[in-house]
């Protein structure tokens, strides 16, 4: 058996610090800016997406192992399908009044 060398998990620390920073930025944008509500929601949504990506790669180790790239492809396909469903639903619900 080979000797196990322990090293400091820098990627976990970086992911943790980035997650805390994004959360604090979202709080700052919400409480201390004069943006409109829709702009604040878009900014918070962008921070949330970026934080989800950070957590997938830093904490859940999506790319590690033999099937790492397959996991990433599956996640991207799921996101595309979810966006199609969301925007398709919005499109149908907002343009349905024209058929009446």
What phi, psi does 94 have (nearest 5°)?
-85, -25
- Can you give the length of the chain in residues? 100
Tokens describing residue 33? 């800016």
Low-confidence ranges of the chain (pLDDT < 50): none
CA 18 to CA 25: how far, in whole Å? 10
Q: Would you state the pLDDT for residue 49?
A: 92
What does the domain layout of the chain look like in residue ranges?
1-61, 65-100
pTM of the model: 0.69
pLDDT at residue 97, rounded to an integer: 67
Fill in the DSSP letter of residue 65. Answer: S
Distance CA 96, CA 99 (A): 6
* pLDDT for residue 81: 97
């Amino acid at each position: 058996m080979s000797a196990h060398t322990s090293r400091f998990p820098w990627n976990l620390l970086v992911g943790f610090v980035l997650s805390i920073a994004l959360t604090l930025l979202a709080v700052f944008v919400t409480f201390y800016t004069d943006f409109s509500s829709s702009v604040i929601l878009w900014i918070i949504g962008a921070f949330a997406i970026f934080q989800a990506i950070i957590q997938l790669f830093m904490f859940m180790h999506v790319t590690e192992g033999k099937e790492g790239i397959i996991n990433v492809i599956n996640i991207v396909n799921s996101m595309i399908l979810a966006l199609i469903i969301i925007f398709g639903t919005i499109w149908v619900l907002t343009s349905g009044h024209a058929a009446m």
